């Protein structure tokens, strides 16, 4: 990761609001990459016997109102945000926030 330029990153931890001072080793930059199911579809013989042209047209009509960004967000998202050391330590142990036994 390159050295951040002044003003290019949020200046506060996005969880607690603590000041972030880039370049001092006092925080973490968290990067989350989410992709829609990356595996090829499982097709049955019954699937192959259906009208694929009609299904393709229906799919296109469902997404034609979306902007390019909205369409991309349905298959790929990349989010980067700063967390102070304390928030990172708590977040990394339970990133989904689910209660544990």
Report if residue 4 sits inside a domain: no
CA atoms within 13 A on the CB side of 29: 16
pLDDT tens per residue, range 46-87: 988 899 899 889 989 988 999 989 988 889 999 999 999 999
Report if residue 60 sits inside a domain: yes
Contact 58, 18 (CB under 8 A): no
Report if residue 43 sits inside a domain: no
Contact 74, 21 (CB under 8 A): no
Burial class (CB in 10 A: 0-12, 13-18, 19+), 96: exposed
Report if residue 5 sits inside a domain: no
Report if residue 3 sits inside a domain: no
Give the three-class secondary structure for 34.
strand
What is the pTM assigned to this prediction?
A: 0.67
Report if residue 63 sits inside a domain: yes
Count of domains for the chain: 1
Owning domain of residue 67? 10-37+49-101
Report if residue 44 sits inside a domain: no
Report if residue 74 sits inside a domain: yes
pLDDT tens per residue, range 2-54: 444 544 556 899 999 999 988 899 999 999 999 999 999 898 999 888 998 99
């Amino acid at each position: 990761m390159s050295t951040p330029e002044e003003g290019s990153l949020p200046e506060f931890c996005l969880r607690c609001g603590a000041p972030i001072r880039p370049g001092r080793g006092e925080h973490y930059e968290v990067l989350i990459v989410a992709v829609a199911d990356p595996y090829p579809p499982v097709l049955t013989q019954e699937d192959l016997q259906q009208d694929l042209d009609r299904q393709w047209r229906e799919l296109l009509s469902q997404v034609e109102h979306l902007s390019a960004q909205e369409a991309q967000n349905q298959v790929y998202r990349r989010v980067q945000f700063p967390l102070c050391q304390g928030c990172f330590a708590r977040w990394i142990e339970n990133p989904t926030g689910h209660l544990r036994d």
